Amino acid sequence: MRVALFVTCLADALFPDVGRATVAVLRRAGCEVEFPLGQVCCGQMHANSGYRREALALVRRHTEVFSAFDAVVTPSGSCAAAARHQHATIATRAGDEDLADAARALAGKTYELSEFLTDVLGVVDLGASFPHRVTYHPTCHSTRLLHLGERPLTLLRHVRGLELAPLPDASTCCGFGGTFAVKNADTSTAMLADKMAAVRASGAEYVTAADASCLMHIGGGLARLRTGVRPIHLAEILAAREGGAGA
């Protein structure tokens, strides 16, 4: 199957390992992966910050770049949710019904990685090995907009050597919220403090999630406190092989 990787602007610029891991996982699951170089950003940050003129241009580009593919896979619950829930609305409110139709069509074939693996490919065991104690943070958009539910946990349970540590109050937001993290930095930090306390209480060595953005926030807090608990994207765990031969 030919799938287009929508790597997300954040992973492209700051977390290329997440992109490489996603490519590895998809190839192992039997997919031919393409990376359309015209892609940039889904526009979520602009839209959610109120800059819809900028967002509209990005939605248009995103839709043009990806519409020709059978399936678009992204290692981000939040960006998948933007394509699925936000793009058509942005287009409609800008009065562009053609774009809204195209966005809706694209939304119907846009998948977050764990969703694509379990629902579309029917793969839960990717032969991964990651002998560590890991806790999983269900990010808000992957939980409440995509309803990923057990999918990421099912994938993690099939990873060799991985010990899954339950995260207390798992579904509570970590406090990232895009520009919220900067505009309401104090409140964001208070939420982060509680999330970090939960991560530490889990006793995990790694905290993982389906979103690099939330992990950047949680991991940044954990690093500042020198807790030793490290953030790692779900795709990176799924790509990890015995002896460390991962992505």
Site for another protein in 45-104 (CB under 8 A): 45-54, 57-58, 61, 70-71, 84-85, 89, 93
Given candidates 109, 132, 133, 200, which one binds another protein under the rule CB under 8 A?
Answer: 109
Q: Check binding of 154 to another protein (CB under 8 A).
A: no
Q: How far is the CB of 142 from another protein (least distance, A)?
A: 11
> In whole angstroms, how close is the CB of 135 to another protein at the nearest point?
18
Residue pair 53/47 in contact by the 8 Å Cβ criterion: no
Instruction: Please tell me the total number of residues recorded for the chain in this structure.
Output: 247
231: part of which helix (H) or strand (E)? Answer: strand 230-233
Minimum distance from CB of 163 to another protein (Å)? 21
Candidate residues 97, 131, 149, 153; the one interacting with another protein per rule CB under 8 A? 149
Residue 197 sits in the site that holds another protein (CB under 8 A): no
Per CB under 8 A, contacts with another protein among 199-228 are 216-217, 219-221, 223-224
Of residues 156-195, which lie at the interface with another protein (CB under 8 A)? 171-173, 175-192
Q: Tell me how far, at minimum, the Cβ of 91 lies from another protein, in Å.
A: 14
Let me know: does 83 contact 107? Beta carbons within 8 Å: yes
DSSP output for 184-225: THHHHHHHHHHHHHHHHHHT-SEEEES-HHHHHHHHHHHHHT
Segment 6 to 35, residues that bind another protein, using CB under 8 A: 7, 9, 11-17, 19-20, 23-24, 27-30, 33, 35
Going through 113-213 in order, the beta strands assigned E by DSSP cover: 133-136, 163-165, 206-209
Q: Which of residues 110-129 bind another protein (CB under 8 A)?
A: 110-111, 115, 119-123, 125-127
- Alpha-carbon distance 161 to 128, whole Å? 9
DSSP conformational letter for 71: E
37 binds another protein (CB under 8 A): yes
Question: Among 77, 207, 192, 73, which residue's Cα sits nearest to residue 135?
Answer: 207
